[in-house]
Amino acid sequence: LKEENFAWLKEKAKHPKTVAIGEIGLDYYWDTTDRETQKIWFARQMELAGELNLPLVIHSRDAANDTYSMMKEANADRIGAIIHCFSYGVEQARQYLEMGFYLGIGGVVTFTNGRKLKE
């Protein structure tokens, strides 16, 4: 993401039909963007959502602790969120639910390695 892209996003997010900011978050599965850069833009996008009072649609892959910490620090519970394609364990689910967030459970629950979700 570059500043000009963020400016475009900010302008489009002000449209009256915009209902949320997302899918945004952290993805540590692929090493295509360094973690610090991801964190910077995630924080900026959450700030934008707060300014516009729009809920978040969150993407988090292999980044459970950082995602949760950043959302807590940003007071994301004030605007709400759905954790798209939630794939973490019970403890992370509790943390998000305690903040009033929704969990999206997708097709991952049917995968062989979806054991944590089934529990």
Q: What are the domain boundaries of the chain?
A: 3-10+19-118
Dist CA 58 CA 35 (whole Å): 16
Model pTM? 0.89
Does residue 43 register a pLDDT over 70?
A: yes
The residue-averaged pLDDT of 45-66 equals 97
79-104 residue pLDDT tens: 999 999 998 999 999 999 999 999 99
Does residue 60 register a pLDDT over 70?
A: yes
The domain over range 3-10+19-118 is classified in CATH as 3.20.20.140: yes
Q: Are residues 56 and 21 in contact, defined by beta-carbon separation less than 8 angstroms?
A: yes
pLDDT value at residue 28: 96
